[in-house]
Amino acid sequence: MDLVLFIGRILFALIFINSGIAHFTKTAAMTGYAQYKKVPAAKVSVLLSGAVILIGGVLIVLGVYADLGALLIALFSIVSAFMMHNFWTIEDATAKQGETASFFKNLALGGAALMLFVLIGQGASIGASLGSPFFNL
């Protein structure tokens, strides 16, 4: 079962690691989108959020302070759902459908990350890992 948990951690974290890297390799495009969404200090926000999700994803994969990594992912996912995918402000039906799906995807990922945070913090096994929890719940 440790192998299955390890694979699950990798699969969960990959979307955040990939997106975190994209925040640094596609900064200009992401900054433009953040400006369109009226994110304050758009470029700084893109770089900071990229660092948060990249670090969070790597911590989860390595199992080093994976609870802290999960908490970072949860905070990012929930905040970005409301800031970047505010479907309730969109009139175009096609755009609204895409933003609605992205909003609920982010909430689901945030919820999964919160569950991972609690489970790890309470000492649940997360498969092969290189470290222990950051928090002691």
| DSSP string for residues in 44-61 | HHHHHHHHHHHHHHHHHH
Taking only the tens place, the pLDDT of each residue in 37-55 is 999 999 999 999 999 999 9
CB 122 within 8 A of CB 137: yes
Distance CA 137, CA 80 (A): 26
The pLDDT-based confidence of 128 (bands split at 50, 70, 90) is low
| Whole-prediction pTM | 0.91
Return the percent helix, strand and coil in the chain, to nearest 5.
Answer: 75, 0, 25
d(CA 90, CA 83): 13
Instruction: Please name which of 133, 124, 16 lies closest in space to residue 72, comparing C-alpha atoms.
Output: 16
pLDDT for 79 equals 97
